[in-house]
Chain A
Amino acid sequence: MIAVYIIIGIVVIILIIFVMTYNGLVRRRNQVKNAWAQIDVQLKRRYDLIPNLMETVKGYMKHERETLEAVTKARNLAQQVASAGAGARAKAEGELSSALSRLLAVVENYPDLKANQNFLALQEELTSTENKISFSRQYYNDSVLRYNNQTQMFPSNMIASMTGFKASEFFEVTVATEREAPKVSFT
């Protein structure tokens, strides 16, 4: 009789562990999805800011047609490939980032523009949006790391493979200028 109770007890404990691990996996996976959506939100925000920015700087930057056109072109291209694959998209977004930073670099030559309140506000928004894009990617990668750890580490990997949880892919920066040397520490 006691043996039966012990067996029932063990089965119940295993079930509880199973359910908790499964729910943990679902939570992590949702976190990854959510983080991915957050990147989109910030990228869209950047598309919306650019026409405003162009409108403001146009009057001041008469001699920077090429720089301005490069930004507009990069923006339109990025918006077009928004629904395409991740690789093409990352490339287009990277080009938009570098076109924008080129534009902000030449602003130095236009003291009138630098004193314009409207422009200053836009510049703050743009800087912050760039930061938010980076931070949302960073959070996405952090979430993927947590999720992947759980799908690959014992014992949760058993439940993950049984119920079809697959490891997610990290967001990788494809533009050479944006890439940083990887730092891996083994302590």
Chain B
Amino acid sequence: MMWEQIRSNQMRSVILVIGMGALLVLLGYFLGLYFFDSAIGGLVIALAVWVIMSLFAYFQGDSLLLSMSRARKISRDDHPRLYNVVEEMKIASGLEKMPDIYIIDDPALNAFATGRDPSRASVAITSGLLQKLNRDELQGVIGHEISHIKNRDVLLMAMCSVLLGTIVILAWYGSRFLIFGSMTGSRRSSSSGGGGQAQIIILVVALVFMILAPIMAYLIYFAISRKREYLADASAALYTRYPEGLASALEKLGASTGQLKSANQATAPMYIVNPFRKKGLKASDLSSTHPPISERIRILRAMAGNSFSDYNQAYRQIHQGGKGIMPATAEIAVGVVPLAATKPEAKVEEPDEMQRARENSDLMWRLNNYKTITCDCGTRLRVPPGFKEPKITCPHCGREHSV
């Protein structure tokens, strides 16, 4: 059921990736033909750039991404609720290894997953989001991220962004050389005058490719990314058996306007919502890594059950009879076993937003090696790591505390 879904979805993504690869090869081919008179030279350069960037992304991508977003790794004791929610989703998805958990100290609302394979994965969440979401919503968001790991989207998107990056770089340098070369008029010595006609054709084709290839690559990239987002939403609904959790989390995410400082265009598809989104994005927008949040919410809320086929149906309903996002295999009709995670009858009390905010700030101080002492008068003393004295006096009531 589920696995077949992922596999056939992967097939489509793979076809799109091959399309991007073909673009890269063609670009290299024409650049080579134009600049070196031989297609091989261009191909070799294109492939070399691609291989180097791929290797780097494969082996260093996740640690680079985490350090670029200034994420801090936390342990179970630092934030038991977050740790537990991640573990719950790990169990629900059948992931073998517990992913590492990171917190980004940023008031913007976002989360992402990284790691080239499910046994080396991490999820990161901003402190702002952690503060805003209640437990059910957090579960939805983490479910979405875990399914990015489970569906191996992280590797796919990393490889795609490398391809995209290579195409953009080659096209950029190609066009600069072209402009610079034609200005000085000493591009290279033409072998014979007879080749003039062919020369112009190659020039035109190379130019067209340099302009079109990056645009095409972007569109393919966005198409893949959006598809994976839908799939991750559907998987999150399936894992939590509670689409409303993710829907209401997305609502909160959509209402905030803060942009994540540490995100950039290449890392954007890893996040749960586009970190650079603008308000009022249209449903048919081709130039975004993520589907519009309002549409994702409407699909999740229109789901009659929790299975992929329910998601598919809801998608079709929203899109007025268009074809679904999931491939129409016979197996999705099977649905899911109706054993939901039973919600306790007596709703257990949860920390409200104020308490979550306090929890967060305690955590951030602790991660910076500050010690927190709560005085009997209610004052919280933050003791910096370099504090040498054995005792500290509360500035509010004058009680002494040992450090």
Contact = CB atoms under 8 A, between A and B. Distances in A.
A128 B339 contact: no
B292 to A, nearest CB: 25
A49 interface: no
Contacts of B341: 131, 134-135, 138
A91 interface: no
A149 B3 CA distance: 12
B88 A141 contact: no
Q: How large is the interface on B (under 10, 10 to 19, 20 to 34, 35 or more residues)?
A: 35 or more
B307 A185 contact: yes
Contact of A128 (B84, B93, B307, B332): B84
Interface in A105-134: 105, 108, 114, 121, 123-125, 127-128, 130-132, 134
Nearest to B345: A101
A124 B84 contact: yes
Contacts of A173: 339, 342
Given A142-B94, A145-B1, A183-B305, A128 B87 contact: yes
B9 to A, nearest CB: 16
Interface centre among B85, B331, B345 (most CB of A within 10 A): B345
A178 interface: yes
Interface in A33-88: 35, 38, 42
Interface string A145-187: 1100100000000000000000000110100011011111111
Q: How large is the interface on A (under 10, 10 to 19, 20 to 34, 35 or more residues)?
A: 35 or more
A31 B1 CA distance: 14
Interface string B128-144: 00000000000000000
B1 A146 contact: yes
A121 B83 CA distance: 13
Contact of B344 (A35, A124, A127): A127
| SS of A interface (majority) | helix
B313 interface: yes
B105 to A, nearest CB: 23
B241 interface: yes
Contacts of A18: none
A141 B306 CA distance: 14
Nearest to B307: A185
Contact of B335 (A38, A105, A170, A184): A184
Interface of A: 31, 35, 38, 42, 101-102, 104-105, 108, 114, 121, 123-125, 127-128, 130-132, 134-139, 141-146, 149, 170-171, 173, 177-178, 180-187
12 contacts: A104-B344, A127-B348, A128-B84, A130-B344, A135-B88, A135-B239, A138-B340, A139-B93, A141-B339, A142-B2, A144-B337, A187-B313
